[in-house]
Every structure is written in structure tokens, then in C-alpha cells.
A and B are shown apart, each in its own frame.
Chain A
Amino acid sequence: MTTTKTRDADKAAGNEPITYREAMRAALRDALTRDDRVFLMGEDVGRYGGCFAVSLGLLEEFGPERIRDTPLSESAFVGAGIGAALAGMRPIVEIMTVNFSLLALDQILNNAATLSHMSGGQVGVPLVIRMTTGAGRQLAAQHSHSLEGWYAHIPGLRILAPATLEDARGMLWTALENPDPVLIAEHGSLYGMAGELPPGAGAVDIDRAAVRRTGSDVSLITYGGTLPKTLDAAERLASEGVQAEVIDLRSLRPLDDATIMSSVRRTHRAVIVDEAWRSGSLSAEISARITEQAFYDLDAPVGRVCGAEVPIPYARHLEEAALPQPDDIVAAAHRAVSGDA
């Protein structure tokens, strides 16, 4: 396990390519080392190494008190995280997938998001809940949904969607420092994404959206697992003469309206790319905000590329058809630019 640790350390120092999974593990290790109030608990986070191998090796490094395998009791262990946070600890709770998080929705909504206000500000819940989200791995309809937008509906929570190695490495510490409950939605398709981290990569802000590519013709607004697809689409659009700007939301609640509107006011066109269902969604919220705040700057209706309104199917061709693909994004951008909406 020392080898895992040393290899991870080298990678985190920017000495060799690192995966999103390893960047997340480096963030966990850093937090566990820096603050003895931090501990990790969840299903199979210890002996198994994490369902997606994010916490592999941490049990050996930090011991079973701080890397806690839990029974399959989402409500109890998420609620226990809330209780421990009330008592001044800094728990990190891992839920295997966002679909499973529904078993803990009572605790997340009725307690984590609510206790501070309901107690007149007497208590805070400095808890971080990490969960995998999204489709693309043929896991079908009970492991593949993108429900982070539901959580973004809830006052009292902060929702983060790290889509880059820097954010996988840097968001966790800032989230732990935050006195309010923070959900981190990690798209399952990103864990294997590899690249280099700049030397000394560490904590990052969790308030602002980021412009991942600049462009003057259309703003493509996305987050999480659809960021790589949107960047691919932007690349193709450039070869076809359309300069797309790509906004990575990073924080789904609160939304960074300023960055979104500043981009839309320059490009006069917006397309929102979101793997989640279209109806009653985060993409609907962003579209509404653009019409509220930047309506007179628009040269075209706001476009959306969303997941099909079906439970995510198993078969590869059907799953691919259900998800936003670069072709769809390119087509939507062209529609916005040409005015053939």
C-alpha cells in the first residue's frame, strides 16, 4: 500500500499523468492528513477500496476509525454524518450512486439542508457527501441517472460537479472548510480521465463557473460528464467556422449567474448541455435565468441538449441514443447561430 501512496504522491505532485480517480484520492488523503476531524464513511470505502476504487489504500493508511465501512443503510450513515458534523467533526460520506442517495433523501433534505435555518442558526452541518452520477457505462436505469439537478433545487445545500482533474483534486478541501452541507456529484465516466496536474495543485474555489474555452458565436453551458463532449463539439464547430465558448458550471447551487450572463451578452446565443432529463430540470432553470437577465441580448432562442426522457436503458446503442452526444451539441449550436431554431 505504500507503493500506492508513493505513486499517488508522485502523480499529485505533477510528476506523471494522473486520473480523475487518483486526483480525488489525493484530495481525500490530503484532507485526512490535514484535519483529524475528517473521516470517510460509506459502503465499501475501506476493505474493498471504494466501489469505483477512489479510496483504494486509504484504510491501510488511516485505519478503520477514519475509513469506515458501513452497512447498506444509506439513511443511517448519511444521518450519522449529519450528527457527527453537528458535533464538530468533518465527515465525508460516500454514496455509491445518486440513485442510491434517494434512500437517504430524508436525511439530506429534512435534516442536512434544514437544521441550520430551523434552529435559528444555532447549528451548522459541515458535511460533505460524495456520490457518483450519470450514465455511459451500460449500468441501466437504477445506476445511471443524473439527479444532481434535484438536489440543486434545495436551499441549504451546495452542489458541486467537478469535471476536471484540478477540480477533482481541489474542490473537496474547500467543501470541507465550508460550514454548510456540500454534495459532490462525480460523473462515473470521468474517473478514468487522465492528464497532468500542475505542480502544487490544491484547493480551488467552489463559487464560480469557469470558461473552459473562449469563443464569440455561441455559449455552450454545461457541467460534469458532458464537459468533455461539449469541448469535443466546440472543437468541431471551430473547424466549421463557429467559435463556441464553453462554460463549465462547476457549482450547480449556487449558480454563478454572472459568468453565464457575461458570456451570453458577448455571444448572444446560448445552448445548455445537460445529461439530465429536460422537464423541470437544471437546464430549465438556467434557461429561465438567461431570459430573465439577458433576454434583450439574445439573438436566438436558448437551446437545450438534454438526456432523452426515458429511464436509462442497458443496450449500448439505446443508451448512447438517450444521452447528449457531440453531434447533437454541434447541431444545436448551428441552429442557434443560423437562427433556424
Chain B
Amino acid sequence: MTRKKTAEKRNTGPAAAAGAPDAAVEERRGLLHEMLRIRRFEERCVELYSAAEIRGFMHLYIGEEAVAAGTMAALGPDDAVVTTYREHGHALARGVSAEAIMAEMFGRSTGCSRGRGGSMHLFDTATRFYGGNAIVAGGLPLAVGLALADRMRGADRVTACFFGDGAVAEGEFHECMNLAALWHLPVLFVCENNRYAMGTALAREHAETDLALRASSYGTVSWAVDGMDVLAVSTAARRAAEAVRWGGGPHFLEMRTYRYRAHSMYDPDLYRDKSEIEEWRRHDPIDALTTRMRDTGELGDDDVAAMEKEIAAEIDAAVEAAKAAPLEPVEDLARFVYSEEAVRP
């Protein structure tokens, strides 16, 4: 029964009617729009950070947009997402509003975590977005537990868990890969391998740098994917998510990607060559899809301009709303430490 319901829901999704050419074009336009939206949002965050409107640690997703856009397109509304502190893009692509995210970074009452989380801790239960987790690999056990609950109830839902290459060095990663595989849990592990754990390059932190190979040692189906190609990401994510949903056990996707910006706003970025960044920029996921769609005539100059205009308006509105939003009252400082429901035997 649950299966039928989910299948019907999925068929109403934007990426659904595979086979119809216009639907495929629409899907590509949707992916392009999402990537561009994430990039422009992040660029605005840089400006706002520089203007001291946003504070704390802030980690930007510029360069990695294809992973969030392509993977989220493979999920349904009942699926769950657990992610990291570099999660603005995940939240946007999952459907958390730009306004709620921006307000959170402004520390406002209307922020998705009511100003208690900030950039690193975006939460939204309406979209089953279980957080920005800022302990590297700390979100993986949560994803295993969310999936365990689904498994125990017979719900055919997927929990997508994002983490970086740095997490693969943590014990929690290995504990969770083993547990998810042992219990055959519906987790889609999405490793965003951007080649640096903060400032430590992949080869300086891992004895074996083929992360998909290592994940496969747990008996998990594991693929390496070109994370700079949004169509490759969405195809792989859809295949993996469907396999997970229909009982194929956990799957692991190593998304090979790159961040153009420093690790965080505090990072002077002294540990890599500028030429390396330039090389990766030549494989920019937004440029690549734009060029492809222009070449095939799916996209014209006007389309791109219209997309940019729409996105700018959305972000402008989010910033304006965040600036105008009230602060959480200081009297409410201790709210939500404990539940407000009193419990008596």
C-alpha cells in the first residue's frame, strides 16, 4: 500500500515522465535553475558576511552545486535528508525557503532554526531536513536511525546522508557503513569528495584515496560519480535511490567534486595552488550544462537572463525579509532545551 502511494507521488515529480522529450528538457532546466540559485545565494552570503550581517562559521558550496541539485531531484517528499555544515545548497534544493535560511543566518525569529542554529545548523522538519550537523561524520548515525525507523515500520522511504571526504577518516563513518549494511537499511550515503578535509588534501589524509572502493568493502553497492556533471549526478542518484527504496540496501555514491571558495570565511586558503582551482573551474557544472543546453537549442540568452532575474528577485526578497524580521526574544533563551510538554506517570 505504501509502495503504491509513494510511486504515485513520485510520478507527479518534475523529473518523472521520463521518455517525453519536453519533460527531459524541463528537468535539465530545473537542474540548471537550482544550481544557479544555489550559486547566487552563496555569492550573496559572501557579500552579507563581508558586511557583517552574517557571522559565525560559514561554509560555501560554490563549485559543488551539481551534487545537491542532482541528488535532491532523485528524492521524494517523504524521504529524509541529513547533512553537514556546508548545507545551504542542500537546504535550498530540498525545498527549505531561501527566506527561512537567510533569516536563520541573520539570527532572526523567522529563521528555520529560530536563530539558534545559524549557517551550520539549518533544520526543517516540513521537508524532513534533519540538519546541518557540524561534527564531521556526526550525522551518519542519525541517518542510520531514521532509516532504521522506516525499515521497522515497512515504509519505503530513503534517507539521504551527505558528508565529505573528511568524514571517511572518522570512526563513525565505518561504524555506520557496517551497521547500515548489516541491517540492510535504506540509506543513500552521498560522499561529497571535494578533495580537502578543511585544508588537508585527500592524499594527505587517506592511505587509499578511492573512497567508493573503501565503502564497497562493507558489501555496499558503491559508485564513483562525476560530481561536476549534474546529469551524471541525477542519473546515479535516481538509480541508487530507487534501489535503496525497493529494498536494495544502502548505497554509496562518491561524488567527485570541488569547492572553489576557501573552507570557511576564516580560511586564508594557503594549502592549494590557485592553478588547481582554475583547472576545476574549467569543469564548472553550471557552465557545462548551460553550454550543452545552448548547443542543443534548449536554452537561449533570454532564458538565462530570465532565470537570473527570477533568482535575484527571490534572494533580494529573502534578504529584505530577514532584515525586517524580529529577533527571538532574549526571555526565550532557554526555550527548546527541554520539551514544553510536561510528563507525569
Specify whether A and B are partners: yes
Which residues of A line the B interface, CB within 8 A? 39, 65, 70-71, 73, 75-89, 91, 106-107, 110-111, 115-124, 155-156, 170, 173-174, 177-180, 202-206
| Residues in chain A near residue B178, CB distance under 8 A | 71, 73, 76
Q: Chain B residues near A116 (CB, 8 Å)?
A: 336-339
Is A75 in contact with B117, judged by CB distance below 8 angstroms? no
Residue of chain B at shortest CB distance from A77 = B179
**Cross-chain pairs A/B with CB under 8 angstroms, 22 sampled:** A71-B175, A75-B175, A76-B141, A77-B141, A79-B141, A81-B145, A83-B149, A84-B146, A85-B145, A87-B150, A91-B145, A107-B138, A110-B138, A117-B335, A121-B336, A121-B340, A122-B124, A173-B345, A174-B345, A179-B343, A203-B345, A204-B345
Q: Cβ of A79 and Cβ of B144 under 8 Å apart?
A: yes
B149 near A73 with CB under 8 A, answer no
Q: Residues of A contacting B172 with CB < 8 Å?
A: 75-76, 79, 106
Bound CA–CA A79/B116 (angstroms) = 22
B143 CB contacts on chain A under 8 angstroms: 83
Among residues of A, the one whose C-beta sits closest to the C-beta of B328 is A120
Please give, as numbers and ranges, the residues of chain B lying within 8 Å of A83 by CB-CB distance: 82, 130, 141-149
**Complex Cα distance A158/B297, Å?**
62
Tell me, in angstroms, the Cα distance from A198 to B175 when the chains sit together: 43
Q: How far is the CA of A65 from the CA of B344 in the complex (A)?
A: 29
Chain A CB within 8 A of B200 CB: no
Nearest CB on B from A162, distance (A): 14
Query: A79-B140, A202-B345 given. 7 additional CB < 8 A pairs?
Result: A83-B141, A111-B138, A116-B337, A118-B117, A119-B116, A205-B345, A206-B345
B345 adjacent to A118 (CB under 8 Å): no
Query: Which residues of B does A touch, CB under 8 Å?
Result: 80, 82, 111-117, 121, 123-125, 130-131, 133, 135, 138, 140-150, 152, 171-172, 175-176, 178-179, 182, 335-341, 343-345
B-side contacts of A76, CB under 8 Å = 140-141, 144, 172, 175-176, 178-179
Q: Please determine whether B145 and A79 come into contact, CB atoms closer than 8 angstroms.
A: yes
Chain B residue numbers with a CB within 8 Å of A121 are 114, 335-336, 340
B146 touches A119 (CB 8 A): no
Q: Is the CB of A86 within 8 A of B337?
A: no
Are B141 and A120 neighbours in the complex by a CB distance under 8 Å? no
Q: Is the CB of A89 within 8 A of B113?
A: no
Chain B residues with Cβ below 8 Å from A173 are 345
User: Quick check: B338 and A86 within 8 Å, CB to CB?
Assistant: no
For A104, the closest partner residue in chain B by CB is B141
A80 touches B152 (CB 8 A): no
List the A side residues contacting B340 at CB < 8 Å.
121
Contact of B141 among A75, A87, A174 (CB under 8 A): A75
A80 touches B141 (CB 8 A): yes
Chain B at the A interface: mostly helix, strand, loop or mixed? mixed
- Contacts between the two chains (Cβ within 8 Å), count: 155
CB–CB A180/B339 < 8 A: yes
Give A202 to B345 CA distance when docked, in angstroms: 9
Q: B123 contacts A119, CB within 8 Å?
A: yes
Q: For A180, what are the chain B residues with a Cβ–Cβ distance below 8 Å? A: 338-339
Decide if B148 touches A80 in the complex (CB within 8 Å).
yes
> Across the interface, which residues of A come within 8 angstroms of B149, CB to CB?
83-84, 87-89
Are A179 and B339 in contact, with the CB atoms below 8 A?
yes
Contact B179 A118 (CB under 8 A): no
User: What's the minimum C-beta distance from A329 to chain B, rounded to whole angstroms?
Assistant: 31
Among A73, A155, A156, A180, the one with the most B-chain Cβ atoms within 10 Å of its Cβ is A73
Interface residue from A86, A88, A203, A206 paired with B142 (Cβ < 8 Å): A86
- Give CA–CA (A206, B146) in the complex, Å: 28
Task: Name the contact of B152 in the complex, choosing from A89, A107, A110, A123 (C-beta under 8 A).
Answer: A89
Which residues of A lie under 8 Å from residue B339 when comparing CB positions?
Answer: 116, 124, 178-180
In the assembled complex, which residues on chain B have CB atoms less than 8 Å from the CB atom of A123? 123, 125, 130
Complex interface: chain A residues within 8 A of B117 (CB): 118-120
Least distance between B216 CB and chain A CB atoms (Å): 18
A119 touches B344 (CB 8 A): no
User: Is there an interface contact between A118 and B113, defined as CB atoms closer than 8 Å?
Assistant: yes
Contact of B345 with A170 in the complex, beta carbons under 8 Å = yes
Among residues of A, the one whose C-beta sits closest to the C-beta of B133 is A111
Q: How far is the CA of A124 from the CA of B125 in the complex (A)?
A: 11
Bound together, the chains give a CA A241 to CA B144 distance in angstroms of 59
Using A83-B148, A173-B345 as known contacts, say yes or no to A120 and B142 having CB atoms under 8 A apart: no
Determine whether the beta carbon of A122 is less than 8 Å from that of B142.
no
The residue in chain A whose Cβ has the minimal distance to the Cβ of B151 is A65
Judging by beta carbons under 8 Å apart, are B144 and A174 in contact? no
Q: How far is the CA of A246 from the CA of B299 in the complex (A)?
A: 80
Please determine whether A87 and B146 come into contact, CB atoms closer than 8 angstroms.
yes
Complex contact B344–A82 (CB within 8 A): no
Query: How long is the Cα–Cα vector from A121 to B175 in the complex, in angstroms?
Result: 29
- Cα A107 to Cα B82 in complex, Å, equals 14
Residues on the A chain within 8 Å of B140, using CB: 76, 79
Nearest CB of chain A from residue B144's CB, rounded to whole Å:
4
A195 to chain B, nearest CB (A): 21
